[in-house]
């Protein structure tokens, strides 16, 4: 049975003072929790703080972006090896905000994914359709294209030590969650598409749902057979809410 993962995406939020309170609360709240994995993906400047606060606890930490190359003259960028220096476990790649605001293509996202994996990080590959794409009936085509870019570049083996997050763009930060049936249908589609290449990798893959997950809808989403936890934006900034979502993932 796949173990559930609940990962927070803080986006560009936080201060040293606010983070200290939040990280302490998440670490302490998870200290007795079993049967669920928990992580927070924080802005780059706060990786050292996350490392200092969470080392030795059950809560892992990670980043929200990474450069596709190992080093060089790329002002402002951060490499996967740098993230490993701060003992990150995870890095989010291909979040819809990065695809939309910074023009990240599925090919570039695949390069970032592989760079992260080669450095020993677990990449969290985000994919999902816009409202217009859903209403046009092309959700599966869009998600398949985002997934296939990785499989073409890295082979299906790349999904062996990885996490995928289905995040319908229309549900991110909007308060509009996909129904558990809508989410399950896309998760099952993703798993089947991977199973066509390698059924063992597909069966073991952790597929998160993201998009306005809250304490009051997490349990229903997490009860679906192909939903293996959540990628949590806004609610990951509120300790009690985030911990309640983590608890919803406990088996
Ligand atoms: C996200 O940013 O990945 C996300 C799912 O955000 P929210 O939970 O706020 O919709």
- Residue 78 Cα distances to 54, 70, 83, 98, 152, angstroms: 21, 9, 8, 15, 25
- Which pLDDT belongs to residue 251? 79
Structural domain count of the chain: 1
**Residue 88: CATH number of its domain:** 3.20.20.70
The pLDDT > 70 percentage for the chain reads 100
| DSSP per-residue codes, the chain | -PPEEEEEE--S---HHHHHHHHHHHHHHTTT--SEEEEEE--GGGHHHHHHHHTTSSEEEEES---SSSSSS-TT---HHHHHHTT--EEEES-HHHHHHH---HHHHHHHHHHHHHTT-EEEEEE---HHHHHTT-HHHHHHHHHHHHHHHH-GGGGTT-EEEE--GGGTTTS-PPPHHHHHHHHHHHHHHHHTT-HHHHHH-EEEEESS--HHHHHHHHTSTT--EEEESGGGGSHHHHHHHHHHT--
Where do we find the tokens 């589609």?
A: 189
Q: In this structure, are strands 4-9 and 36-41 parallel, antiparallel, or unpaired?
A: parallel
Average of per-residue pLDDT across 147-168: 98
Candidate from 232, 236, 237 with most ligand 1 atoms within 8 A of CB, to mutate? 232
249 CA from centroid of ligand 1 (Å) = 17
Nearest to 242 by CA among 32, 1, 38, 2: 38
Average of per-residue pLDDT across 98-123: 98
The answer to whether 168 touches 211, Cβ cutoff 8 Å, is: yes
- Which pLDDT belongs to residue 170? 97
175 CA from centroid of ligand 1 (Å) = 9
**Is 212 touching ligand 1 by the criterion CB < 6 Å?**
yes
Return the residue whose CA atom lies nearest to atom 1 of ligand 1.
Answer: 233
Average of per-residue pLDDT across 205-215: 97
Mean pLDDT of the chain: 97
- Which pLDDT belongs to residue 144? 98
How does residue 93 score in pLDDT terms, banded at 50, 70 and 90?
very high
**Does residue 219 have a pLDDT over 90?**
yes
Residue 200 structural domain: 4-248
The Cα 247–Cα 251 span in angstroms is 9
Tens-digit pLDDT profile for residues 4-46: 999 999 999 999 999 999 999 999 999 999 999 999 999 999 9
Tens-digit pLDDT profile for residues 65-89: 999 999 999 999 999 999 999 999 9
Average of per-residue pLDDT across 115-130: 98
Average of per-residue pLDDT across 151-180: 96
Tens-digit pLDDT profile for residues 222-250: 999 999 999 999 999 999 999 999 999 99
How does residue 2 score in pLDDT terms, banded at 50, 70 and 90?
very high
The answer to whether the predicted template modeling score (pTM) of the entire model surpasses 0.85 is yes
- Which pLDDT belongs to residue 51? 98
Contacts 24+ apart (CB under 8 A), 12-19: 12/43, 13/43, 13/237, 14/42, 14/43, 14/46, 14/237, 16/46, 16/49, 19/46, 19/49, 19/50, 19/53
- Which pLDDT belongs to residue 1? 79
**Does residue 193 have a pLDDT over 90?**
yes
213 Cα nearest atom in ligand 1: 8
The Cα 216–Cα 92 span in angstroms is 25
How does residue 123 score in pLDDT terms, banded at 50, 70 and 90?
very high
Provide CB contacts within 8 A for 50, sequence distance 6+: 19, 23, 40, 42, 61, 86
Q: At what angle do helices 16-29 and 47-54 cross, to 10 degrees?
A: 30
């Amino acid at each position: 049975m796949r173990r559930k993962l609940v990962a927070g995406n803080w986006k560009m939020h936080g201060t040293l003072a606010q983070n200290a309170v939040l990280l302490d609360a998440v670490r302490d709240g998870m200290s007795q929790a079993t049967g669920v994995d928990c992580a927070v993906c924080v802005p780059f400047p706060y990786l050292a703080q996350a490392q200092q606060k969470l080392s030795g606890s059950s809560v892992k930490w990670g980043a929200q972006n990474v450069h596709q190359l190992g080093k060089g003259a790329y002002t402002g960028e951060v490499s996967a090896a740098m993230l490993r220096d701060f003992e990150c476990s995870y890095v989010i790649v291909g979040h819809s905000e990065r695809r939309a605001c910074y023009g990240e293509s599925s090919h570039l996202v695949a390069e970032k994914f592989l760079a992260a994996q080669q450095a020993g990080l677990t990449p969290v590959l985000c994919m999902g359709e816009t409202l217009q794409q859903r209403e046009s009936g092309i959700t599966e085509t869009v998600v398949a294209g985002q997934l296939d870019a990785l499989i073409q570049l890295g082979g299906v083996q790349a999904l062996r030590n990885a996490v995928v997050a289905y995040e319908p763009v229309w549900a991110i930060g909007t308060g509009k969650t996909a129904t558990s049936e809508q989410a399950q249908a896309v998760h099952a589609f993703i798993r089947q598409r991977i199973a066509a290449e390698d059924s063992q990798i597909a069966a073991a893959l952790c597929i998160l749902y993201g998009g306005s997950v809250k304490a009051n809808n997490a349990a229903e989403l997490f009860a679906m057979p192909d939903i293996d936890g959540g990628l949590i934006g806004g609610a990951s900034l509120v300790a009690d809410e985030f911990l309640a979502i983590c608890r919803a993932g406990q088996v």
